Amino acid sequence: MTATDPIVVFEDVHYGYVEAGRRHEVLHGIDGTIGRGETVALLGRSGSGKSSLLNLTAGLAQPGRGRIRVAGADIAALNETARTRLRRRHIGFVYQFFNLIDTLSVLDNALLPLELDGRVDPAARERVESLLAEVGLADRMGARPDTLSGGEQQRVALVRALAHAPALVLADEPTGNLDAATGARVLDLLDRLVRDTGHSLLLVTHSSEVAARADRTLHLIDGRLQAPEAVS
């Protein structure tokens, strides 16, 4: 793929699941793209399918019909090893639950994506240390997560998501577990770090205030994407 190609392409994506013998349809014919260096907010109520679309984009679930391409690769056409490699090389994750490992230090938590991919070298370590310093954690690199505030833990999660310089960052309600003031500061950091490094960001939220920070907003209503002007 070229530098001008979208980082994500959705083509007629359908998704559902079976529970207690009943089929539940979640997504209905999703089409769209996310450009390189673009921040896109996915706005919708709880249960609208936002997290499902995020998991499909990451290759953590498979569409029932349609195709999703990330960094030029058709995710459904990849085996599990190749999907794991794609995630480790091209995708960073930020969730509202910080998912830090309590037995690891702040620095080791942030380095984890590089460790898993066998890419920790002095230059990579220096880059991660610089990112931690940039988010105000220079003096907490040796600390354990359980000694950090919620905002500090989420800042570690941001650095971990960016540690391996992914082309695409996926954020699922990244401030949902924080108070309003701390959440606003974390969003400021996420926005600045993503834009400074030229990453693309798909940000899932139910908040119109959070969505307003994005370059573009997609509205997901009852499993269907709607143009902003069509949403009352």
| Structure confidence by residue, pLDDT tens digits, 51-95 | 999 999 999 999 999 999 999 999 989 999 999 999 988 999 998
Give the model's pLDDT for residue 179.
Answer: 85
Task: Answer with the residue of higher pLDDT: 79 or 179.
Answer: 79
Decide if pLDDT at 230 tops 60.
Answer: no
* H/E stretch holding 219: strand 216-221
Q: Check if the beta carbon of residue 194 is closer than 8 Å to that of residue 169.
A: yes
Sign of CA dihedral 148, 58, 91, 85: positive
Residue of 120, 116, 138 lying closest to 129 (CA atoms): 138
CA 39 – CA 110 distance, rounded (Å)? 22
DSSP character string of 27-63: EEEEEEEE-TT-EEEEE--TTSSHHHHHHHHTTSS--
Domains of the chain (ranges, CATH numbers): 8-225 (3.40.50.300)
Tell me if the pTM is above 0.75. Answer: yes
